[in-house]
Structure 1
Amino acid sequence: MTKIQYYVASTLDGFIADEHDGLEWLLQFGMDDFEGHYERFFAEVGALVLGATTYEWVLREGGGWPYGSVPTWVLTHRELESPDGADIRFASGDIAPIADAAVAAAAGRNVWVVGGGPVAAQFLAAGRLDELLVTYMPVALGRGRPLLPVRAVTPPLELTGVTRLGDAVEHVYRIG
């Protein structure tokens, strides 16, 4: 069954980017400890959802669109460019029909809410987020973009898995 998952790296103090949307704090660790784990996760992804800030960061810093032709929804109110060969759908408004379309496009695989935190918070508030997969990195920022900027207290989450990845630790939580 398709799950909608927020898969993200976070600092120990709960930030996913610095105050300028930078990820230098994360990139300093390299990918050696994470690459195989990420590849196994991504092999089960059939659709993506991300916000405009994350989308623009990926295009600017990623050296091209890294997700191939995986159906992708970008939440935005602006007109943005789409890279060649990418299956990008720009959307705004109620998250429920966007979630439904992403689940349908995933065709039995999972939907990855790539980021940022406000996008994941919208899915959570709408009752459409099934899992939270957070890799906590051994660093603190003190300020930045929060992991999950919710407007209300979440229900208790159920810890269903813990994986050590070098000096980092991934926690998997089931929601609801």
Structure 2
Amino acid sequence: MSGAGRMFGVVTRIQYYVASSLDGFIADEHDGLEWLLQFGMADFTDHYERFFASVGALVLGATTYEWVLREGGGWPYGGLPTWVLTHRALEAPEGADIRLASGDVGAIADAAVAAAGDRNVWVVGGGPVAAQFLAAGRLDELLVTYMPVALGRGRPLLPVSDVTPVLSLTGVTRLGDAVEHVYRVG
């Protein structure tokens, strides 16, 4: 555990919750998700809603943030405190609690954990953001839903520059033809 959430017996986890192709890509080479959206949501809605109910704060990279705004049909995360890792000025949708941030991901993790209260922090994506949190020792869990398709190329699930700590498989859930693996870091 990152330890930042240890306060009065409550442990807030920083989680990377993501869908991936079988060959380890989370988006195609043009940041598209058509490959994922073809599966619909019927097998995933209840599972996602249970996960999302545990979320108290979000962290996204600028590419993911802009994709959500462009393709998501409105801001889907309500007023949850959201950190967007960027060096640019970005507009925030009305009603969203957007905090633009750059620099030390440890400080960003601390702020997100504090804002999440007794809930978890969801690293929405992309892969480079999750890799930064992992490299800083601030990622507690990976929840990866592997979809039954291979892309051949695209945006990697976890583009690390070195060997990661050993991950421990703590859960497996079948979701239709997809499978979610839950890994604890460290």
- TM-score, structure 2 as length reference: 0.94
Match of 1:60 in 2: 70
Q: Deviations over 1:11-40 (max 9, x none)?
A: 000000000000000000000000000000
State the one-letter code of the partner of 1:167: D
Match of 1:96 in 2: 106
Aligned: 1:8 with 2:18: yes
Q: d(CA) in 2 for partners of 1:17 and 1:53?
A: 11
Identity of aligned residues (%): 87
- 3-state SS, counterpart of residue 124 of structure 1: helix
- 3-state SS, counterpart of residue 88 of structure 1: strand
Q: d(CA) in 2 for partners of 1:80 and 1:20?
A: 20
Q: 1:36 aligns with which of 46, 61, 64?
A: 46
State the one-letter code of the partner of 1:168: A
**Which structure 2 residue ranges, 5 or more long, are not aligned?**
1-10
State the one-letter code of the partner of 1:60: R
State the one-letter code of the partner of 2:171: G
- 3-state SS, counterpart of residue 64 of structure 2: helix
Aligned: 1:129 with 2:139: yes
Q: 1:77 aligns with which of 87, 107, 123?
A: 87
Q: 1:142 aligns with which of 135, 148, 152?
A: 152
Q: How many residues align?
A: 176
Q: d(CA) in 2 for partners of 1:45 and 1:80?
A: 23
Which stretches of structure 1, 4 residues or longer, exceed 3 Å deviation after superposition?
none
Match of 2:125 in 1: 115
Q: d(CA) in 2 for partners of 1:56 and 1:96?
A: 23
Query: What is the CA-CA distance between 1:123 and the residue it aligns to?
Result: 0.1
- 3-state SS, counterpart of residue 8 of structure 1: strand
Aligned: 1:153 with 2:179: no
Query: What is the CA-CA distance between 1:108 and the residue it aligns to?
Result: 1.3
RMSD: 0.3
Q: Deviations over 1:123-156 (max 9, x none)?
A: 0000000000000000000000000000110121
State the one-letter code of the partner of 1:171: H
- TM-score, structure 1 as length reference: 1.00
Q: d(CA) in 2 for partners of 1:104 and 1:80?
A: 23
State the one-letter code of the partner of 2:122: W
**Which structure 1 residue ranges, 5 or more long, are not aligned?**
none
Q: d(CA) in 2 for partners of 1:113 and 1:21?
A: 17
Q: 2:36 aligns with which of 22, 26, 40?
A: 26
Q: d(CA) in 1 for partners of 2:166 and 2:126?
A: 21
State the one-letter code of the partner of 1:29: F
- 3-state SS, counterpart of residue 169 of structure 1: strand
